[in-house]
Structure 1
Amino acid sequence: MPDSSINWEDVHPTNRYAAEIVMGLRPACKREQQACQRHLSDLERQATPKFPYVFDESRADRIFEWFERCCRHVRGPFSGQLIELLPFQKFDLGCVYGWVHMDSGKRRFTKALHLRARGNVKSTEMSGLSLYGMCGDCVYPPGQPHLKRYEESPEVECAAVDKQQAKRVWLDAKAMGENSPDISRRLRIKRTYIEHAKRGGWLRPLSKDTKNKDSGAPCLVIIDEYHAHPTSEILDVSYSGFGKRLQSLMQIISTAGKDAENSPCKKEYDSLGKMLDGETPMIDTYYVMIRELEKADDPHNEENWIKANPILQEDNEYAQELKKQIRIEHDEAYNSGDQHKIREWLTKRVNLWQADSENKYMSGIMDKWKALAVSRSAFLDLVRGYATRNGLDLSKTTDLTGSGFVFRLEDGRYAVTAHGFMPEETATKHEHSDRVPYRQWAAEGWCTLTPGSVVDYSFIKSHIQQMEQNESWFIEEVCYDPYNATHFTQDLEAEGYNRVEIRQGVQTLSEPTKFFRELILRGLIVHDGSPLLTWCLSNAVEVADNNGNIKLSKKHKDDSQRIDLLAAIINAMVRAMVGDSTINLNDHILSEDFSF
């Protein structure tokens, strides 16, 4: 219950909203409750040696006044009217712009992630924020506005996944600036550029097509609809320009998306969720606000929609129209039974992440796979002394190569592990193209970076021998894709290993590929949690023939989303599953082939 001794009208809007959420006076999801509790907890520890930040109400009020005195709506029922910020906006904006360093007055937050459903004025906020970055953003010690310092030649980037989307963000800001006498007198707003009338600089659209996108020193970067970005390139390039300004800020604004396995936005979402849950250290300079339906919520219950749509907290015409539109789209999607429409509604209207539907091999079961992991030490204890099949997938000598092991345990389960190999000289290039941390994984023991510019196969042989000797494994067979592997496996045969060529046609690979997934679904797989192997599983796409036989592939031939470690395990599974009483495997599986 609210404290009756407090006059809530005297409490700053940012703090009041946080208290209302935490006390349950406003409906909210878990993530929004965590963000509000974080703000209240920070208020209690502000201006301390371990937390040298303060919440400066005057700095929060400054951004409020900017919107409500200078910015006008450019579309919708309120077009042309001055913007009146809603309580949830005053919380978000108040936090990001109100928290400052207690001595320097520089803004606390350098990054902010805002995830909420479509229709909740994200574009309006972005337009106003980009213009504020050009005109009004400044630094001054707390409570001393007479010492204001503005950036010379301010640089504001409106970044999106492609040129067209980035231009749309820029055009919205342009229209808002043109419609405001106060803003238009400060800026030169032309057909193709926007700059400050006295201090120069620019407000420009930014996408992967922009030339010289890594040469700036941005004051503000707005990343629009991050869920649509296939890589984090734009974010990374923009963030690398920070440190050259007084208080650079990145605002990441998005809804959920439909590629939950590979999206950099989903990875950011997952990482920040762990931070809010206390599983990883809190990043004091990263503001996070996620408004979404939760997994246990019924998406058909209209009362739950407010969790992802904070505008529905208000009783006004826009909120009523938004709820009506959400209801119409809900009914159309679910009455049609069209999975594409349902997924679109779930991502855009209630902000729920969806797994990629493009024939992904592990679509919908990646969480099941992750739940079957044990620690590396527990895995090694479990399989010590067992016989195993080794599978090899020797790719191009400049790319990732996989070596996998499959064990049949006495309790009916299968244990699998895999190791990657990559030339050290190309690792940095592949980190940029593949967007995964090969060097970190190498340091953690999940892969080996071999000297030089091509994979040194002697390291693969050494790894196989070391695992056999150190862990008391008995390698019954080395099962290999003949591409690039004949000479190498002849060397292994000379060392006393039995080698079996695994033809790569669908007649050979379909049954073990299906069997491996079935084991995961039945909970009969155990693995050591390798992030590299997990990444390969999430990338795999299945290709089927007219008879329902499948084999695995990357999404595109030259795609950087690699599957090599999984391919190595499937090669080993071809032989490991022979004789399993739960399947019927014909003797011809090693010799028949099929071409798509």
Structure 2
Amino acid sequence: MAGRKTTRSPNGAELERLKISPEVAWYMAERGIPLPDCPPLVQTPSPGDAPGAVFDPNRVDRVIKAFGLLRHTQGQWEGQPLRPDPWQVAYILAPVFGWVRWDEDAGGYVRVVRELYVDVPRKNGKSTLAGGLAIYMTCADGEGGAQVITAATTKEQAGYVFEPVKKLAEAAPALKKHVRPLKGVILHPKSGSYFKSISSVAGAQHGANIHCAIIDELHEHKSPELVETIETGTGSRRQPLTCIITTADSGKRESVYDRKRQRVEKLARRVFTAHSVYGVVWAAERDDDPHVEETWRKANPGYGVSPTRSYLRDRSDEAKQSPADLAKFLRLHLGRRTKQETKFLTLESWHRNASMVDEVKLAGREAYGGLDLASTSDLCALCWLFPDGEEGYDALWRLWTPEDNVDALDQRTAGAASVWVREGLLVATPGNVADYDYIQLQIERDMDAFDVRAIGFDPWNATPLTNKLAESQAPMVKVRQGFVTMSPPLKEFQRLLLKGTPEVPLFRHGGNAAVTWQVDNLAVAMDPAGNVKPDKARSAEKIDAVSAAVTALSEAMSREVPVRSAYEDGGLEVV
């Protein structure tokens, strides 16, 4: 295993380009390991950002030493020591095993990272990396009675990881006195630890005290149950590690792969923070030419050795022959999720317009509301927009969720939902369903505070709440969610964000973190005429706050037109 390297002494800008922390760069220089020149397309923040984190080079040494005790079992390197590539050290082993922090309960330093996500095209040494990690975590991590497993959707798939690890153990002279490779398990008698493969929830539940789990080809998992069972089985260990090592899927929404991949990408964009999660993704970008060597290098950190130049050239030639072969090449060898969509609203433009929003100073101002009550057991959203008399708006959101739903939201936001509740960005109402009385009281208070001209709502999701508000003389207005109605305000939303600058923001939102998460989730549907609308079915996660904002903007844009009562077109019946 070799990989591309650089021998230059890197400065800060170079390290930033390479996506390598100064501590990891120092370690590699001290150990004589050249820096790789193959940064991942996506990388979560350094585990060194965690409060109290320190870098321990000795821990990385132990991992690399354990890898070196193993021997390649096939190919041109058969019998030679297994030495990790520089890219594997720089982007995986050193960040994961080097960063530690003090843990009072454990009475010592433990790893910062507890979840590792590696997404890399085929032929880049995934199996070898998984094998080295499995042997180290079983035999050398200092954990007594370590239960180390590899998980896949079928016994056959699980065997694809277990059998190479077994062969590595059998072929390593240094391990013969220490491990006992059997048919379905590798034992480490000295520590009472073992490594085995599983392919069912029942297998993951057996023992339920997992020290390390290696989950192979995540996109093959049709259900999240096995992965979730494994993750909940690590709770009693001092420094457990769940390793997902996978290739890309085709872009299917709401799969277990999609949720994990989306979370890593959001962490990389700093939508929210989870120091215990570290992920890297190697892939070509959408506009890259799939048939040139530069793209192959970008997507494959082991390019030139594994996969070889000739191998990718042959696969590229095949891909030129048919759309089906091209889709396969893009996914398996360039890491592209072939059905992935371009963001309609970018976080870059969103952050440019953050500015400050002072609710006290909004008192008495003209306001237009958008109400989204799409789910009684999840999120409800209200957005108030305050025109500034020129071109821009101040935005203020009210978000509600049943308190029984906060744990589920935490799982989907890496624990951020609880933070939003503490900060007052999200209100947890009592029970397990939406508390419409609570929401009504808040709207009535807002109507006393602001000069409310209209509150738009989707008639398809009309509830007793919208009827009650209309009966109390709230200016409720039906806003249908089709292309004709939604396209103008959604395109205006995009235009305001793109035109706005930090100096002159046009859609001021105060950096609301709960709404930022939903902006990043947004996917849109487009009709043949180029009209767009928010698409909840295809969005990565909840977008209720965005839908509420677009509905409010629809009303604000039509403020020159006299606002009609909801009763003038036949009442509030759902059509």
What TM-score do the two structures reach when normalised by structure 1? 0.68
Q: 1:453 maps to which residue?
A: 432
Deviation at 1:531, TM superposition (A): 3.0
Question: Are the structure 2 counterparts of residues 371 and 245 from structure 1 closer, same or farther at C-alpha, using a change threshold of 3 Å?
Answer: closer
Q: Distance in 2 between matches of 1:343 and 1:372?
A: 38
Structure 2 counterparts to residues 299-314 of structure 1, below 5 A: 309=300, 311=302
Q: Secondary structure at the match of 1:219?
A: strand
Alignment of 1:535 onto 2:531: no
- Which position in structure 2 is the counterpart of 1:564? 544
After TM superposition, list the pairs within 5 Å mapping 1:439-450 onto structure 2: 439-450=418-429
Quickly say closer, same or farther: Cα 1:424–1:560, change in 2 above 3 A.
farther
Shift of 1:38: 6.1
CA distance in 1, matches of 2:206, 2:520: 30
- The one-character-per-residue Cα deviations of 1:280-301 (angstroms, maximum 9, x if unpaired) are 99x6x88888888999999998
State the alpha-carbon separation in 1 of the partners of residues 265 and 317 from structure 2: 29
Match of 1:489 in 2: 466
**1:36-115 equivalences in 2 (<5 Å):** 36-37=24-25, 39=27, 55-56=57-58, 63-74=63-74, 76-79=75-78, 82-89=81-88, 93=93, 110-111=113-114, 113=116, 115=118
1:366 to 337, 346, 363: 346
Bigger RCO of structures 1 and 2 (CA < 8 A, at least 6 apart): 2
The answer as to 2:487 corresponding to 1:499 is no
* Residues 114, 253 of structure 1: 8 Å contact kept: yes
Aligned counterpart, 2:36: none
SS in 1 for 2:308: helix
Equivalent residue runs for 1:273-292 within 5 Å:
none
Inter-partner Cα distance in structure 2 for 1:101 and 1:527: 36
Cα distance change of structure 1 residues 447 and 116 upon mapping to structure 2, 3 Å threshold: closer
Measured at CA, do residues 178 and 41 of structure 1 come closer, stay the same or move farther in structure 2, by a change above 3 Å?
Answer: closer
C-alpha distance in 2 between matches for 1:274 and 1:414: 25
- Shift of the 398–378 alpha-carbon distance from structure 1 to 2, 3 Å rule, reads closer
Distance change (3 Å), C-alpha of 1:373 and 1:339: farther
Range 563-572 or range 81-90, more displaced: 81-90
Confirm or deny: 8 A CA contact 1:32 1:289 kept in the other structure: no
CA distance in 1 between counterparts of 2:155 and 2:441 reads: 49
d(CA) in 2 for partners of 1:417 and 1:290?
35
1:376-455 mapped onto 2 (5 Å cutoff): 377-378=356-357, 380=359, 385-432=364-411, 437-455=416-434
Q: Does the C-alpha gap of structure 1 residues 491 and 310 become closer, same or farther in structure 2, counting only changes over 3 Å?
A: closer
Structure 1's 381 and 552: CA in aligned 2 closer, same or farther, altered over 3 A?
Answer: same
Q: Determine the structure 1 residue equivalent to 2:452.
A: 475
Matched-pair contact (CA < 8 Å) for 1:420–1:448: yes
- The residue aligned with 1:462 is 441
CA 1:300 to 1:387, structure 2 compared with 1: closer, same or farther past 3 Å? Answer: farther
Matches within 5 A, 1:323-338: 323-326=309-312
Shift of 1:165: 5.3
Question: Relative to structure 1, is the Cα distance of residues 300 and 115 closer, same or farther in structure 2, using a 3 angstrom cutoff?
Answer: farther
1:123 maps to: 127
Question: What is the match of residue 19 of structure 2?
Answer: 31
The aligned counterpart of 1:221 is: 213
Aligned to 1:32, what secondary structure does the other structure show?
coil
> Is the 8 Å Cα contact of residues 262 and 540 (structure 2) preserved in structure 1?
no
Give the secondary structure class of the aligned counterpart of 1:529: coil
Q: Does the aligned pair in 2 maintain the 1:217–1:244 contact within 8 Å?
A: yes
Letter paired with 1:389: Y
252 and 430 in structure 1: CA distance in 2 versus 1, 3 angstrom threshold? closer
Are the equivalent residues in 2 in contact too, given 1:291–1:309 (CA < 8 A)? Answer: yes
Q: Per the alignment, do residues 41 and 508 of structure 1 end up closer, same or farther by CA in structure 2, a change over 3 Å counting?
A: same
The yes-or-no answer on 1:553 pairing with 2:535 is yes
Offset from partner CA, 1:384-424 (integer Å, 9 cap, x none): 65322111122343221111223333332344443221111
How far apart, in 2, do the equivalents of 1:101 and 1:494 lie?
58
Distance 1:232 1:419, change over 3 A: farther
Asked if 1:137 is matched to 2:140, the reply is yes
Gaps of 5+ in 2: 32-51, 501-505, 562-568
Give me the whole-angstrom Cα distance separating, in 1, the residues matched to 2:156 and 2:536: 28
Residue 151 of structure 2 corresponds to residue 151 of structure 1: no
Deviation sequence 1:419-445 (CA, Å, 0-9, x none): 221111333245446766433212222
| Deviation at residue 132 of structure 1 after TM alignment | 3.2
Q: Secondary structure at the match of 2:466?
A: helix
Q: What runs of 5+ residues in structure 1 fail to find an aligned partner?
A: 1-16, 44-49, 140-149, 582-589
* Mapped partners of 1:236, 1:21: distance in 2: 43
**Count of aligned pairs between the two proteins:** 528
1:61 & 1:175 partners in 2: Cα distance? 24
Same amino acid, percent of matched pairs: 26
- Which residue of 165, 172, 175 maps to 2:164? 172
Does 534-543 or 295-304 show the bigger shift? 295-304
Backbone CA RMSD of aligned residues: 5.4
Write out per-residue CA displacement over residues 545-581 of structure 1, whole angstroms, 9 at most, x where no aligned residue. Answer: 566655433227xx99323222222332332222689
Q: Given residue 346 of structure 2, which amino acid in structure 1 is its aligned partner?
A: M
The residue that corresponds to 2:41 in the other structure is none
Deviation of the 1:447 alpha carbon: 1.7
Name the stretch that deviates more: 386-395 or 571-580.
571-580
Distance of aligned partners of 1:461 and 1:60 in 2 relative to their CA distance in 1, 3 Å threshold: closer
Q: Secondary structure at the match of 1:536?
A: helix
User: Quick check: 1:227–1:263 contact (8 Å CA) kept in 2?
Assistant: no
In the TM superposition, what is the alpha-carbon distance from 1:79 to its structure 2 partner?
Answer: 4.8
Q: 1:37 to 1:187 in 2, by over 3 A?
A: closer
Partner of 1:577: 557
Q: How far apart are 1:270 and its partner, in Å?
A: 5.7
Residue 30 of structure 1 and its aligned partner are, at CA, apart by 2.6
- Contact 1:115/1:290 (CA < 8 Å) preserved in 2? yes
- TM-superposed CA distance for 1:127, in Å, is 0.9
